[in-house]
Amino acid sequence: MAAGKIRVGISGWRYKGWRGKFYPEKLRQKDELRYAAEKFSTIEINGTFYSLQAPESFRRWAAETPDDFVFGVKGSRFLTHMLRLREPEIALANFFASGVLELREKLGPFLWQLPPNFKFDAERLKTFFSVLPRDVESAIELTRRRNKRIMPRAAVEVGRNCLAKNRTLRHALEIRNETFRTPDFIALLREHNIALACADTVEWPRLMDVTSDFMYVRLHGSEVLYASGYDRDAIEVWAKRAVAWAQGREPRDAEKVVAKPSPKCSGRDVYVYFDNDAKVRAPADALSLIATIEQLQSSAVVE
């Protein structure tokens, strides 16, 4: 039985506090992504959350990373926090027309992060899920509905070159409100094949229900949001969870809304991002998790 691939990385890569600590003292800022991509197999792009990025940026990021590297892409906060998923079609079209397909084969899953005051709304989520493009071809088709005053041209030429494969596009949803702790939400995610992002934090629900063919994990710091690091015991716990998910199983300690086992799967890809950057812990913790996962996989000992 083939296990899925586990990718561990960091959320963002441009942090002043990392310079001289994670990054070598004299490393040029423009070389930071290249350096980080040598250490990790994935990085979550944060800039896409705050504003539409230029096609040239996506091209450059793709060129600066190794062949087997994958980016997680954080969806636009204009759509999640300002529109609050209302009438999402044009905003989604603008987002995909901005050039994200320029990442080519390095385009990984999309993360859509909801604000803490966004409560469970099944109908609004259904509408949003129905518009999300699930492959490259549908993403290109969606860009035709962009706001042409904001974006006269759609940067999709690279995407067209990927159409021979017509790659599947994956989506994950991160929730931050207790009203989502309901079986109806889990059923809705499974119906639309959307991954429930498992967010480790003291502030919001930490749920581990498997709702898609991959897992998306964000480690924000379990004691202090965006700040606290993970000690050896915590790293081992998350390593065992990641290996279990990759093998198509569920961790014994999984915190779930729906108690019954998740749908069976021979193996799942797992994406883990450390977002506890305030105390410069994210890169070190990510490297520690990678080493621990490799030890578990080589020894084949997972609880």
CA dist 174 and 154 (Å) reads 28
pLDDT at residue 204, as a whole number: 84
Q: Give a yes or no: residue 1 inside a domain.
A: no
Which H or E run contains 20?
Answer: none
Least confident among 129-138, 150-159, 210-219, 244-253: 150-159
pLDDT at residue 269, as a whole number: 97
pLDDT at residue 219, as a whole number: 94
Per-residue pLDDT band for 281 (boundaries 50, 70, 90) equals confident
Highest mean pLDDT among 74-83, 145-154, 253-262: 74-83
Of residues 217 and 259, more confidence is placed in 217
The residue segments making up the domain with residue 122 are 6-299
Q: Give a yes or no: residue 131 inside a domain.
A: yes
Least confident among 34-48, 65-79, 219-233, 254-268: 219-233
Q: Give a yes or no: residue 170 inside a domain.
A: yes
Q: Give a yes or no: residue 143 inside a domain.
A: yes
Q: Give a yes or no: residue 69 inside a domain.
A: yes
Phi and psi at residue 219, in whole multiples of 5°?
-105, 100
Does residue 2 register a pLDDT over 90?
A: no
pLDDT at residue 167, as a whole number: 86
CA dist 197 and 218 (Å) reads 7
pLDDT tens digits for 80-116?
A: 999 999 999 999 999 999 999 999 999 999 999 999 9
Would you give the distance in Å from CA 249 to the centre of its chain? 20
Domain count, the chain: 1
CA dist 244 and 250 (Å) reads 6
Q: Give a yes or no: residue 20 inside a domain.
A: yes
pLDDT at residue 229, as a whole number: 75
Please state whether the predicted TM-score (pTM) of the whole model is above 0.75: yes
Q: Which strands sit side by side in the sheet containing 6-11, from one edge to the other?
A: 195-196, 171-174, 107-113, 70-74, 42-45, 6-11, 269-274, 214-219, 198-200
DSSP conformation letters of 273-289: EE--GGGT-HHHHHHHH
pLDDT tens digits for 60-78?
A: 999 999 999 999 999 999 9
CATH assignment of the domain containing 111? 3.20.20.410
Average pLDDT, rounded, for the chain: 91
Q: Give a yes or no: residue 90 inside a domain.
A: yes
Phi and psi at residue 82, in whole multiples of 5°?
-95, -55
